[in-house]
Amino acid sequence: MNIQTIGVIGCGLMGSGIVEVAAKSGFDVIVGELNQEFLDTGMARIHKSLERAQSKGKLTEKEASAALARMSGTIKSEDFAPADLVIEAVTEDLELKQRIFSRLDQVTQPDVILASNTSSISIAAIAAATNRPDKVLGMHFFNPVPVMALLELVRGSLTSDETLATAQAFGERLGKTTVVAKDSPGFIVNRLLIPYIVDAIGLYEAGLASKEDIDAGVKLGLAHPMGPLTLADLVGLDTTLAVADVLYEEYGEPRFKAPPLLRQMVTAGLLGRKSGRGFYDYRQG
Ligand code: 3HC
């Protein structure tokens, strides 16, 4: 299938990164949000990221303007009609995703692939809201999307070989390396990542080490680019909690159980970098 126009629903942390990478890779991108305010915030994030890439010499002014010209924002679902592929990147809420997929099923051409950037939710459950489960799959990107090399593809029980092959080819055009996982909670990466972050928060909560020492221990002792608490702040504590809850509900194993501290922080609005405070304070930039 020839893909030129893609749709991205949700222009938050992940959605805006997907839009940026797709537009820089030469795709026309229709960007959808719930309302104009969210759309403006998401587009501003993309502008900032493109400016950052320019200032680092990774992108010329001409390339950045061309990427911006390929993006068009909307708050109407019917504007996704011309899309050849749509990626949903909204919050981890099955009902919301099902509503979006059901609507996309109505407004897009029947052969269009509908993908979800879900971190943990069942692809089969999302696909069930459509009449094209063979054309539904998971396309799980990693934060920050412009930097991370991986695209994890998740094959639902009814996803066709053709859909998977098209998604692999699309991932390559974005410059990503793809891996394929079966439709099981957490797929490959989050199934490994969440118990690690949960353990690190538990260690901190128990007062066994300072947050700085936990992070320095992993960063310097294991050569990770950042420690687990800094990483949780980057991913977003709300997202981390949502994924942990799905995994715990599905597997019932204590290693996935969110520590009370994580839940308290999310309730208090301490969501990490995106809200300015998490384990660390980002308000001074
Ligand atoms: N957007 C675009 N580019 C960015 C960026 C962003 N948000 N953040 C950093 N970069 C670029 C920088 O421009 C720089 O590029 P350069 O080397 O060509 O100049 C490069 O990345 C390194 O950035 P910095 O020097 O500013 O900082 P670091 O060296 O500390 O790197 C990092 C930052 C890339 C975020 C690195 O710390 C890292 O890889 N951290 C781990 C990230 C990770 O594990 N992500 C996966 C999270 S799990 C997930 O997303 C799944 C979900 O479902 C939970």
List, for residues 262-283, the tens digit of each pLDDT value: 999 999 999 999 999 999 999 9
As its CATH architecture, domain 5-182 has 3-Layer(aba) Sandwich (3.40)
Q: Is 146 in the pocket of ligand 1 (CB under 6 A)?
A: yes
How remote is the CA of residue 146 from the centroid of ligand 1, in Å? Answer: 8
**Cβ-Cβ contacts under 8 Å for 90 (sequence gap 6 or more):** 9, 10, 12, 15, 96, 97, 100
pTM of the predicted structure, to 2 decimals: 0.94
Within 10 angstroms of residue 33's Cβ, the number of other Cβ atoms is 22
| Cα separation values, 238 from 169, 248, 275, Å | 32, 15, 10
Q: Determine contact, residues 80/30, Cβ cutoff 8 Å.
A: yes
Domain boundary assignment for the chain? 5-182, 189-267
Q: Which of 14, 59, 147 to mutate to test the pocket of ligand 1 (most atoms within 8 A of CB)?
A: 147
How remote is the CA of residue 226 from the centroid of ligand 1, in Å? Answer: 9
Q: What is the mean pLDDT of residues 115-143?
A: 96
Atom of ligand 1 nearest to the CA of 142: 50
Atom of ligand 1 nearest to the CA of 239: 54
Question: Same topology for domains 5-182 and 189-267, yes or no?
Answer: no
The DSSP symbol for 281 reads B
| Tokens (6 digits) for 142 | 């990693």
Q: What's the confidence (pLDDT) of residue 211?
A: 98
| Tokens (6 digits) for 200 | 């690190």
Alpha-carbon gap, residue 124 to 188, rounded angstroms: 17
Q: Determine contact, residues 48/174, Cβ cutoff 8 Å.
A: no
Residue 1 pLDDT > 90, yes or no? no
Q: Determine contact, residues 42/11, Cβ cutoff 8 Å.
A: yes
| pLDDT one-digit tens code per residue, 150-199 | 999 999 999 999 999 999 999 999 999 999 999 999 999 999 999 999 99
Q: Is 147 in the pocket of ligand 1 (CB under 6 A)?
A: yes
| Tokens (6 digits) for 256 | 């996935």
CATH classification code of 189-267: 1.10.1040.10
Q: Is 55 in the pocket of ligand 1 (CB under 6 A)?
A: no
Report which of residues 1 and 203 the model is more confident about: 203
DSSP line for 68-104: HHTEEEES-GGGGTT-SEEEE---S-HHHHHHHHHHH
| pLDDT one-digit tens code per residue, 68-107 | 999 999 999 999 999 999 999 999 899 999 999 999 999 9
- Average pLDDT over the chain, rounded to whole? 96
User: Quick check: helix, strand or coil at residue 282?
Assistant: coil
| Closest residue CA from atom 10 of ligand 1 | 147
Residue 2 pLDDT > 90, yes or no? no
Residue 208 pLDDT > 80, yes or no? yes
